Amino acid sequence: MEREKKSAPQASKLSDVAATASTIEIVDRFGSANAEFIKGYTGIDNETGRKFAKGLREISEHKVSDPVRNIPQQAGFSAEIHAVSKKNARNIIDRSTVRLERTDDRPKEFGHNNRVYDHVEVDGGKVVAGSGSQMKFVAKPDDLLTKIARGDGSGSDRDLSRYQGVKLDLPSDQVNDAKDFCTQQAKSLRSQADTVEKLGKTELAEKFRKDADNFKELRGNIRDSGMTREEAIHLRTDPLAATVRDIIGISHEAGVQGAKAGAVVGGAVSIVTNIIAVCQDDKDLKTALLDTTVSTGKAAAVGYGTAFAGSALKGAMQQSANATARTLSKTSLPAMAVSVCLELTAAVKLYASGEIDGTEFMELIGQKGSNMLSSGLGTVVGQIAIPIPIVGGVIGSMVGYTLSSLLYQNSLTAFKEAEQAREQYLHTKALCEEARTSMEAYRLQFNQLFEEYLTEGRAAFADCLSAMDDAAALGDVDGFARSANALAECIGHTLQFKNIQEFNDFMATDDALVL
Give the model confidence (pLDDT) of 135-168 as tens digits.
Answer: 999 999 999 999 999 998 888 888 999 999 999 9
Domain-embedded: residue 365: yes
Instruction: Give the highest mean pLDDT range of 33-42, 155-164, 351-360, 363-372.
Output: 33-42
Domain-embedded: residue 253: no
State residue 240 phi and psi, 5-degree precision: -65, -45
Domain ranges, residue 460: 423-507
Q: Residue 7 above 70 pLDDT? A: no
Domain-embedded: residue 383: yes
Q: Where are the alpha helices (DSSP H) in 107-140?
A: 107-110
Query: Across residues 51-56, what is the average pLDDT?
Result: 96
Domain-embedded: residue 97: no
Cα distance between residue 325 and residue 329, in whole Å: 6
Cα distance between residue 162 and residue 13, in whole Å: 63
- In this predicted model, which residue has the larger pLDDT, 71 or 472? 71
Q: Residue 59 above 90 pLDDT? A: yes
Could you tell me if 337 and 403 lie in one domain? yes
Residue type, 163: Y
Could you tell me if 356 and 385 lie in one domain? yes
Could you tell me if 205 and 193 lie in one domain? yes
Could you tell me if 414 and 438 lie in one domain? no
- In this predicted model, which residue has the larger pLDDT, 34 or 300? 34
Last-in-domain residue among 190, 224, 258: 224
Q: How confident is the model at residue 458 (pLDDT cuts 50, 70, 90)?
A: low
- What is the sign, positive or negative, of the torsion defined by CA atoms of 190, 192, 196, 201? negative
Q: Which residues contact 295 (CB under 8 A, 6 or more apart)?
A: 11, 12, 15, 266, 267, 269, 270, 274
Last-in-domain residue among 207, 224, 241: 224
Could you tell me if 341 and 363 lie in one domain? yes
State residue 353 phi and psi, 5-degree precision: -85, -5
- In this predicted model, which residue has the larger pLDDT, 15 or 458? 458
Strand partners, 44: 51
Cα distance between residue 249 and residue 73, in whole Å: 26
Residue 36: burial class (beta carbons within 10 Å; 0-12, 13-18, 19+):
buried
Could you tell me if 415 and 489 lie in one domain? no
Provide the pLDDT for residue 314: 87
Q: Which residues contact 223 (CB under 8 A, 6 or more apart)?
A: 133, 167, 168, 169, 170, 175
Q: Residue 396 above 50 pLDDT? A: no
Last-in-domain residue among 195, 224, 253: 224
Global pTM value: 0.66
Cα distance between residue 301 and residue 223, in whole Å: 37
pLDDT one-digit tens code per residue, 127-136: 999 999 999 9
Closest CA to 191 of 215, 174, 219, 159: 215
Provide the pLDDT for residue 436: 60
Could you tell me if 441 and 371 lie in one domain? no
Could you tell me if 204 and 144 lie in one domain? yes
**Structural contact between residues 261 and 303, judged by C-beta atoms closer than 8 angstroms:** yes
What is the number of domains present in the chain?
3
pLDDT one-digit tens code per residue, 324-351: 778 777 766 666 565 555 555 565 566 5
Query: Across residues 415-441, what is the average pLDDT?
Result: 60
Could you tell me if 408 and 430 lie in one domain? no
**Structural contact between residues 229 and 72, judged by C-beta atoms closer than 8 angstroms:** yes
pLDDT one-digit tens code per residue, 255-299: 898 888 777 766 676 777 778 778 877 888 888 788 778 877 777
Could you tell me if 387 and 437 lie in one domain? no
pLDDT more than 70, % of the chain: 62
Cα distance between residue 137 and residue 77, in whole Å: 9
Domain-embedded: residue 433: yes
Cα distance between residue 79 and residue 511, in whole Å: 120
Strands 133-135 and 167-170: parallel
pLDDT, mean over the chain:
77
Query: Across residues 403-432, what is the average pLDDT?
Result: 53
Cα distance between residue 14 and residue 19, in whole Å: 8
Domain-embedded: residue 354: yes
Instruction: Give the highest mean pLDDT range of 4-13, 361-370, 490-499.
Output: 490-499
Q: Residue 115 above 70 pLDDT? A: yes
Domain-embedded: residue 150: yes
Domain-embedded: residue 88: no
Cα distance between residue 398 and residue 377, in whole Å: 10
Could you tell me if 144 and 219 lie in one domain? yes
pLDDT one-digit tens code per residue, 214-257: 999 999 999 999 999 999 999 999 999 999 999 999 999 998 98
Provide the pLDDT for residue 60: 96
**Structural contact between residues 225 and 170, judged by C-beta atoms closer than 8 angstroms:** yes
Could you tell me if 407 and 447 lie in one domain? no
